[in-house]
Amino acid sequence: MRRGSVLAAALLTLAAARQAPDPMAPRTKGRADAPVTVFEMSDFQCPFCRMFAMNTMPALDSEYVRTGKVRFVYINMPLPQHPNAPAAAAAALCAARQHKFWQMHDLLFRNQDTWARLPYPRAALLALGDSAGVNHAAFVQCVTSGATRAEVDEDARRAHQAGGRSTPTFYIEGGLLEGAQPIDVFRSVLDSIYRTKTTHS
């Protein structure tokens, strides 16, 4: 893993600060006091992010998040070559306001081939919101008003300052792991960090 700077650590720690209420909570999985925190810097239109979400995340969730070892936080980093990614990220954060982020997250990746190629994806994104179980009127108002665009931009700014250059990139306790790595790579990294942190705690 490539080491992140002290500044990067401070920026992403600030992004996930345990505030009351914590604005990151709707897009966080796992216990707040988990010994290891993983920040995923991701783009909903990125095929490699989809690969991670569909192939690796379920095992990571089962083995590390649900067992209390890892707290997992999603950070938006839409890339310039993906024109529909900012709209998808904004829609996901609108769903997060109704505590439906992860439902929307999964639907966006599962249906990426459909909405990602559209010249105007809003109708498709609104339909996915309905499938995620959001309140339709509140979701439409949030999406059409652009209420979460500034939050997406702030996510991207923090991600770049933390060293993110491609997606997906994972910031794990001071280091960067790049690419849609298989679960075996995550096991090696997370088990090592978990042993170190729990042995010295």
Q: How many residues does the chain have?
A: 201
Give, for 169, the enclosing helix (H) or strand (E). strand 169-172
pLDDT of residue 31: 95
Buried b (16+ CB within 10 A) or exposed e, 16-30: beeeeeeebebbbbb
CATH (residue range 2-14+36-199): 3.40.30.10
Coil vs helix vs strand at 23: coil
Buried b (16+ CB within 10 A) or exposed e, 83-103: ebbbbbbbbbbbbbbbebbbb
pLDDT of residue 140: 98
| Residue ranges for the chain with pLDDT beneath 70 | 1-21, 200-201
User: pTM here?
Assistant: 0.89
Q: Which two tokens stand for residue 106?
A: 């999964």
pLDDT of residue 17: 47
